[in-house]
C-alpha cells in the first residue's frame, strides 16, 4: 500500500488522466456488485448502462467485452474483500499491455481509497450528465422488454442519421421517447426542438418552421425569425402529429430532408442545416397517402424506420408505472389502497399516460390522508366503461394461450396477482378451462 501523501498525489493524477481518456474503470465487490465506475467521455455512448453502480457486473453479457479490450485485476480491498478493477481502453489489441499496467495501478490506488473511506473517483460533470441521460431511458422504457428493444433499435438507427417515425395511440409518450432518444444520442449537447404540426395555425406554420428574413411580409419581425428547423441545427427536430401538416408544406419539408438546407421566407440563399428528424403520428399515414392527404415521397423519407409505441394497457410493467406516477405527483407521500390499485390495474386506459396522470392528480386532490381509495378515482375507471374491452380481451387471451393456460405464468408476466388475473378474465368473459373451456 502506498504512503498516504504519495498515494493521494498518484490518485489525483490518475483521475485526471482518466477524464481525458477513451477509458473506463470499474470496481466491484467480491460478489460482482459494482461499487463505482468511471466512464471516459468518449466512451459514454458505447457502454450505455453497463457500468452503473449497484448493477451486477456480468462480463459474459457485457457489450464492453464485445467492443473493447479489457483487463481485470483483483486486489485486497476494505474489510478483507477483493476489489476487481477493469480497465477498458481502445478497440486496438496494441493497447493491451498499457491496459494491463493501468489496471494494476488503478487497483492499487483504488484499494487505498476504499481503505481510507474516500470516494474512489470524484464524479465529474460529464459523468453526472451521462447518468441523467441514462435516467431518461429508464423513465421511458421502465421494465418493459419491448420498449427497451424499441429504444435500442432507435438509438442504433439515429446514430446513423436515419429518420424515425414514432406511431401509436395518443398519449403513449411519443415526445418523451423522442427526448430520451435525443439524450442518449451523440447529439445530446445540441438542441431538442419539438413542433406540434396540429397546434400551429395553417397560416403560420410555414414561417414557424422555415423562418423568414426581415421585411419578408407585412407584420414580420424587424430582425426576421430563425425558424424551428434552423433552431434544431446540431440537434434533433421532433415533428409531432406530422399527419396534420398541410400538403402544400410537405414538398418544402421534403427538400429540407433531402438537401439538408433551408431557404427562409423572403430569402434567396439556402442555409445548411444538420438535424436528426424524428416524427410522430397517431394517424394512419399510409391511408393518408392513398387518399392524397400525405405525400408518398415524404412518407418514405420520414419513415426510415417505423417504431410502434404500445398503449398503456399493453405495457408489461403497467403496475410499476401506476406506482411511479403516483410517487411523482405526490412527491412520494401518497399510496394506493389495494382496492384502488386493483381498479387502476384492470382499467383499459384509452387515454394512456395522459389519462393516467390526470386521474392521479384528481385522486390526490380528493384524498385527505394521502391514501388513494376507489371513491377518489374518476367514475369511468371505477365502472371500466371507458376501456377497450374487445382489444383488451384479445390481448389477454393471446397471452393466456401463449402460456398454455398456465395462469400463474400469465400473472407473473403481467406483474399482477392471480386474484387480479381471475377478476380481469371474469370481467372480459374469458372462462377458465375447468369452468367451460377456453372462452
pLDDT at 189 over 50: yes
Please state, in angstroms and rounded to a whole number, the distance separating the CA atoms of residues 174 and 165. 10
> H or E element: which one contains 105?
helix 96-116
**Among 61-70, 136-145, 266-275, 320-329, where is mean pLDDT lowest?**
61-70
Instruction: Say what the pTM is.
Output: 0.62
pLDDT at 341 over 50: yes
Higher local confidence (pLDDT), 384 or 7: 384
**pLDDT-derived band at 359, boundaries 50, 70, 90:** very high
pLDDT of residue 266: 79
pLDDT at 367 over 70: yes
pLDDT at 124 over 60: no
> Which of these, 16, 38, 57, lies nearest to 130 by C-alpha position?
38
pLDDT at 49 over 60: no
pLDDT of residue 439: 43
- How high is the mean pLDDT of the chain? 77
Identify each DSSP E strand in 161-249 by its residue range. 164-167, 192-196, 236-240
DSSP label at residue 61: G
Residue 124 has which C-alpha cell? 465529474
Q: Do residues 170 and 354 lie in contact, with contact meaning Cβ atoms separated by under 8 Å?
A: yes
Higher local confidence (pLDDT), 129 or 145: 145
Give domain 313-383's CATH architecture.
Orthogonal Bundle (1.10)
| All residues at 6 or more sequence positions from 369 whose CB lies less than 8 Å from its CB, including other chains | none
Residue 355 has which C-alpha cell? 389519462
Please state, in angstroms and rounded to a whole number, the distance separating the CA atoms of residues 154 and 13. 38
**Among 85-99, 140-154, 162-176, 198-212, where is mean pLDDT lowest?**
85-99
Residue 149 has which C-alpha cell? 428493444
pLDDT at 270 over 60: yes
Q: Which CATH number fits domain 131-308: 3.30.420.340, 3.40.50.970, 3.40.50.300, 3.40.350.10?
A: 3.40.50.300
pLDDT of residue 23: 61
**Among 28-32, 163-167, 416-420, 434-438, where is mean pLDDT lowest?**
434-438
In whole angstroms, how far apart are CA 311 and each of 120, 391, 405?
Answer: 43, 11, 24
pLDDT at 179 over 70: yes
Top mean-pLDDT range of 68-77, 137-146, 212-221, 349-358: 349-358
> How many other CB atoms sit within 10 Å of the CB of residue 282?
17
> Which of these, 350, 347, 326, 328, lies nearest to 336 by C-alpha position?
326
pLDDT at 4 over 50: no
**Among 63-67, 121-125, 162-166, where is mean pLDDT lowest?**
121-125
Mean pLDDT of 39-66: 56
CATH topology match: 131-308 vs 313-383: no
Give domain 4-123's CATH architecture.
2-Layer Sandwich (3.30)
| All residues at 6 or more sequence positions from 3 whose CB lies less than 8 Å from its CB, including other chains | none
**pLDDT-derived band at 220, boundaries 50, 70, 90:** low
Share of the chain above pLDDT 90, in %: 29
C-alpha angle with apex 166: 163 to 172, nearest 5 degrees?
Answer: 155
Please state, in angstroms and rounded to a whole number, the distance separating the CA atoms of residues 29 and 58. 13
pLDDT of residue 434: 42
Q: What is the signed CA dihedral for 48, 49, 50, 56, rounded to 10 degrees?
A: 180
pLDDT at 388 over 50: no
pLDDT at 393 over 90: no
> How many other CB atoms sit within 10 Å of the CB of residue 174?
25
Strand bridging mode 24-28 / 34-39:
antiparallel
pLDDT of residue 59: 59
* Total residue count of the chain as it appears in this document: 439
Q: Do residues 315 and 169 lie in contact, with contact meaning Cβ atoms separated by under 8 Å?
A: no
| All residues at 6 or more sequence positions from 277 whose CB lies less than 8 Å from its CB, including other chains | 163, 164, 236, 237, 239, 257, 302
pLDDT at 160 over 80: yes
pLDDT of residue 389: 47
pLDDT at 233 over 90: yes
**Among 90-99, 247-256, 305-314, where is mean pLDDT lowest?**
90-99
Domain range list for the chain: 4-123, 131-308, 313-383, 389-435
pLDDT at 120 over 60: no
Mean pLDDT of 53-63: 61
Please state, in angstroms and rounded to a whole number, the distance separating the CA atoms of residues 55 and 333. 27
Please state, in angstroms and rounded to a whole number, the distance separating the CA atoms of residues 2 and 203. 72
| All residues at 6 or more sequence positions from 268 whose CB lies less than 8 Å from its CB, including other chains | none
> H or E element: which one contains 430?
none
pLDDT at 127 over 50: no
> Which of these, 190, 431, 70, 147, lies nearest to 308 by C-alpha position?
147
**Among 84-88, 242-246, 348-352, 412-416, where is mean pLDDT lowest?**
84-88
| All residues at 6 or more sequence positions from 60 whose CB lies less than 8 Å from its CB, including other chains | none
pLDDT of residue 239: 96
Mean pLDDT of 420-438: 69
Q: Do residues 276 and 249 lie in contact, with contact meaning Cβ atoms separated by under 8 Å?
A: no
Q: Do residues 98 and 85 lie in contact, with contact meaning Cβ atoms separated by under 8 Å?
A: no
Amino acid at each position: 500500500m502506498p504512503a498516504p501523501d504519495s498515494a493521494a498525489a498518484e490518485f489525483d493524477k490518475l483521475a485526471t488522466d482518466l477524464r481525458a481518456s477513451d477509458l473506463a474503470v470499474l470496481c466491484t465487490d467480491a460478489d460482482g456488485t459494482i461499487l463505482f465506475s468511471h466512464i471516459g467521455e468518449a466512451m459514454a455512448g458505447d457502454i450505455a448502462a453497463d457500468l452503473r453502480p449497484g448493477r451486477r457486473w456480468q462480463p459474459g453479457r457485457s457489450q464492453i467485452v464485445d467492443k473493447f479490450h479489457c483487463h481485470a485485476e483483483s486486489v485486497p480491498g476494505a474489510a478483507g474483500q477483493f476489489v476487481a478493477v477493469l480497465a477498458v481502453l481502445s478497440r486496438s489489441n496494441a493497447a493491451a499491455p498499457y491496459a494491463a499496467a493501468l489496471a494494476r495501478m488503478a487497483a492499487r490506488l483504488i484499494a487505498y481509497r476504499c481503505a481510507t473511506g474516500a470516494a474512489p473517483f470524484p464524479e465529474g460533470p460529464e459523468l453526472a450528465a451521462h447518468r441523467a441521460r441514462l435516467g431518461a431511458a429508464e423513465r421511458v422504457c421502465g421494465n418493459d422488454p419491448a420498449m427497451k428493444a424499441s429504444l435500442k433499435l432507435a438509438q442504433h438507427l439515429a446514430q446513423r442519421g436515419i429518420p424515425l417515425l414514432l406511431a401509436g395511440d395518443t398519449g403513449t409518450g411519443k415526445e418523451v421517447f423522442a427526448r430520451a432518444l435525443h439524450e442518449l444520442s451523440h447529439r445530446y449537447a445540441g438542441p431538442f426542438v419539438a413542433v406540434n404540426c396540429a397546434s400551429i395555425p395553417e397560416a403560420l406554420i410555414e414561417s414557424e418552421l422555415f423562418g423568414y428574413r426581415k421585411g419578408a411580409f407585412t407584420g414580420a419581425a424587424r430582425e426576421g425569425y430563425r425558424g424551428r428547423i434552423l433552431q434544431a441545427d446540431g440537434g434533433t427536430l421532433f415533428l409531432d402529429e406530422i399527419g396534420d401538416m398541410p400538403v402544400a408544406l410537405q414538398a418544402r419539408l421534403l427538400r429540407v430532408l433531402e438537401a439538408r438546407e433551408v431557404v427562409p421566407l423572403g430569402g434567396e440563399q439556402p442555409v445548411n442545416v444538420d438535424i436528426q428528424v424524428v416524427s410522430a403520428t397517431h394517424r394512419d399515414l399510409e391511408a393518408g397517402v392513398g387518399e392524397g392527404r400525405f405525400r408518398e415521397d415524404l412518407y418514405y423519407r420520414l419513415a426510415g424506420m417505423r417504431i410502434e409505441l404500445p398503449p398503456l394497457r399493453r405495457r408489461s410493467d403497467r403496475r410499476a408505472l401506476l406506482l411511479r406516477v403516483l410517487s411523482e405527483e405526490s412527491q412520494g407521500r401518497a399510496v394506493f389502497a389495494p382496492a384502488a390499485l386493483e381498479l387502476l390495474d384492470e382499467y383499459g386506459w384509452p387515454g394512456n399516460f395522459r389519462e393516467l396522470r390526470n386521474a392521479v392528480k384528481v385522486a390526490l386532490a380528493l384524498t385527505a390522508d394521502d391514501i388513494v381509495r376507489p371513491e377518489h378515482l374518476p367514475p369511468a375507471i371505477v365502472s371500466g366503461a371507458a376501456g377497450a374491452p374487445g382489444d383488451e380481451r384479445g390481448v389477454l387471451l393471446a397471452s393466456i394461450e401463449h402460456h398454455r393456460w398456465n395462469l400463474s405464468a400469465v400473472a407473473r408476466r403481467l406483474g399482477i396477482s392471480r386474484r387480479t388475473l381471475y377478476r380481469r378474465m371474469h370481467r372480459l368473459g374469458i372462462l377458465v378451462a375447468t369452468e367451460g373451456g377456453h372462452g
